[in-house]
Amino acid sequence: MHTSPNELRPRLLRYFSYILIGLFVAGGTFYLTNYARGILINPRTGDVVETGLVVIQSTPVSGSIKINGSDIEESTPNRQVLPTGSYSIELSADKYRTWSKDFMITGTELIWLDYPLLIPQEINTANVVDLNEKPIFAASNNRRWLLTSQSSGSFELSRIDQETTTSEALNLTDSLMESLGKDSKLLNLTFSSDDRYILAEYAVGKGIKFVRIDRQNSEESILIDEEIDTGFDELTFDSDRNINNLYGIKGKRLYQINLADLEVTEIAHSVEAFYSYQDYVFTIQTPDEKYDQASVSYIQDGGDEKVIGEIPSSKSYEISARKFDNILSVAASNKSDVYIFKNVENILKPKPKISKTRAKTMEFTSNGRFVMITDGKDVEVFDQEINRRFDFEFSKQATRVVWLDNFRLVGTVDSQVKLVDFDGYNQHNIVKASTAVAPIANRDNESIFSISGAKDNYVLQRSKLRVD
């Protein structure tokens, strides 16, 4: 069959267009595939360039972005694809302090800068509750309630998750205080996991007594020592939302206490330290046959004791635990070193020594990603997600350092409430404070609550981290 030139030309053009479309699709697919892998090709030189994706966000407001001194056209939230190298970033907003950080892109990676908290240039602080004496206070786990002591048996219960703080008196009954004794001295307050009850620890003579305070009905508060002859040196709530279940130590023996059935059961001996988390209780024990080693163990839901590993013995210990990405990790300290055991329910991994700082305080974030170790001056933060340690120090000794949220630490340094990111960047003075009570933030970090004053003239103050 003969094809005329007029018929052949459109057919060739159609074939040629198919080839062009195929080349375009193949080239686009190649480009997008490598772009997704963080690999770009410089069109001028033909060199292969590795890149990383940086995700940037800020609260409570959107911020302008500078990277290596150059303005980025769009504000937060924002994403930037950057070649490997060293970078400095600044986030700024009107009436807020600049947030800054140095970081590196070493290969095809995703860097999350989604946690920056912009702090107002001027902090609006107001007094909310006058206090009679040097107070002790505690916040509920949902950061909705704050209980502040006025005296041994008198408290102020404040609602702190609203724009305006409201407070009401919460008093223990005269009969309970009479049973507790005239010379009782309040030492500590801890909320239960359901946030209704508070465990109050009192020094009475040479011993310790414990009261379970009912936040909703203070007349239902009980002196635990009257319910059960305890004599415990230490007592804590079960953290698995069972307010009738407690754990206590007496003479290095660990007991489980059931207030509903009035039962006390010994569950471990030679216990130096313990920690309750979910349906686990973790212990550090020093058996006589291993005088140079201490065993790290756990008991789950009343089952048999399981040994996690061992650490060198010491005169004092600390232990804590959290789940991160549903993997349970345990941090154990013998005061000179800190060890972390990962995935303790399944595969026991080696215990890396993660700290060179003496663990005066050791605490996980609530989501389990970071563990903080500090002696009050030097601070080390270990990131379980990337297995990296961050080291920094305060200019002066901090009276107490705790996690404010999952990315920030707070403490009182040189009579100032100081807020600092987990990696030591962005240390901010917030407000003057005069006691060793750790500051507390309400929900969404809208405000920080702290104590100021001296002698018998103290006050609970609220410092807003928002510009009105």
Q: Is residue 252 part of a domain?
A: no
Q: Which CATH number is 67's domain given?
A: 2.60.40
Q: Is residue 127 part of a domain?
A: no
**What is the spatial distance between Cα 292 and Cα 211, in angstroms, rounded to a whole number?**
38
pLDDT at 425 over 90: yes
Q: Is residue 143 part of a domain?
A: no
Mean predicted confidence (pLDDT) in 381-402: 90
**What is the spatial distance between Cα 419 and Cα 267, in angstroms, rounded to a whole number?**
40
Same domain assignment for residues 108 and 58: yes
Cβ-proximal residues to 412 (8 Å cutoff; 6+ apart), any chain:
398, 399, 400, 418, 433, 435, 436, 437, 438, 439, 450
pLDDT at 380 over 90: yes
**What is the spatial distance between Cα 286 and Cα 314, in angstroms, rounded to a whole number?**
9
DSSP 3-state of 144: coil
The pLDDT value given to residue 350:
58
Q: How many domains, in total, are found in the chain?
A: 2
Q: Is residue 435 part of a domain?
A: no
The pLDDT value given to residue 7:
57
Cβ-proximal residues to 376 (8 Å cutoff; 6+ apart), any chain:
360, 361, 394, 397, 398, 399, 400, 401
297: pLDDT confidence band, cut at 50, 70 and 90? very high
Same domain assignment for residues 25 and 65: no
> Over the stretch 201-258, which tens digit does the pLDDT of each residue have?
999 988 899 999 999 999 999 999 888 877 888 999 988 777 888 999 998 999 999 9
What are the tokens at 38?
């963080």
Least confident window among 5-9, 264-268, 397-401, 462-466: 5-9
Tally of CB atoms within 10 A around 25: 10
351: pLDDT confidence band, cut at 50, 70 and 90? low
Same domain assignment for residues 55 and 108: yes
The gap between the terminal CA atoms of the chain, to the nearest Å, is: 85
42: pLDDT confidence band, cut at 50, 70 and 90? very low
For residue 295, the cross-strand partners are 285, 310
pLDDT at 16 over 60: no
What are the tokens at 162?
């609203």
Q: Is residue 99 part of a domain?
A: yes
What is the DSSP annotation of 390-434? EEEE-SS-EEEEEESSSSEEEEEETTEEEEEETTS---EEEEE--
For the entire predicted model, the pTM comes to: 0.84
Quickly tell me which residue has 């994403």 as its tokens.
Answer: 79
Domain boundary residue among 113, 130, 159? 113
Mean predicted confidence (pLDDT) in 93-103: 97
DSSP 3-state of 212: strand
Same domain assignment for residues 104 and 55: yes
Q: Which domain holds residue 96?
A: 48-113
Provide the CA 111 distance to its chain's centre, in angstroms.
20
Least confident window among 48-57, 260-269, 383-392, 439-448: 48-57
Q: Is residue 131 part of a domain?
A: no
Same domain assignment for residues 67 and 109: yes
Choice between 343 and 359, residue whose per-residue pLDDT is larger? 343
**What is the spatial distance between Cα 105 and Cα 88, in angstroms, rounded to a whole number?**
11
Q: What percent of the chain has pLDDT over 70?
A: 88
pLDDT at 79 over 70: yes
Q: What is the mean pLDDT of the chain?
A: 87
Same domain assignment for residues 52 and 107: yes
> Over the stretch 106-121, which tens digit does the pLDDT of each residue have?
888 899 999 999 999 9
**What is the spatial distance between Cα 160 and Cα 6, in angstroms, rounded to a whole number?**
84
DSSP 3-state of 117: strand
50: pLDDT confidence band, cut at 50, 70 and 90? confident
pLDDT at 76 over 70: yes
pLDDT at 25 over 60: no
Q: Is residue 269 part of a domain?
A: no
Domain boundary residue among 113, 135, 169? 113
**What amino acid occupies position 412?**
T
CB 383 within 8 A of CB 354: no
**What is the spatial distance between Cα 371 and Cα 384, in angstroms, rounded to a whole number?**
8
Q: Is residue 309 part of a domain?
A: no
Q: What percent of the chain has pLDDT over 90?
A: 59
DSSP 3-state of 55: strand
Same domain assignment for residues 83 and 31: no
Same domain assignment for residues 31 and 52: no
Same domain assignment for residues 63 and 85: yes
Tally of CB atoms within 10 A around 18: 10
The pLDDT value given to residue 107:
82
The pLDDT value given to residue 213:
95
pLDDT at 32 over 50: no
**What is the spatial distance between Cα 275 and Cα 6, in angstroms, rounded to a whole number?**
88
The pLDDT value given to residue 206:
86
Same domain assignment for residues 88 and 66: yes
**Closest by alpha carbon to 149, among 213, 237, 239?**
213
Domain boundary residue among 61, 83, 113? 113
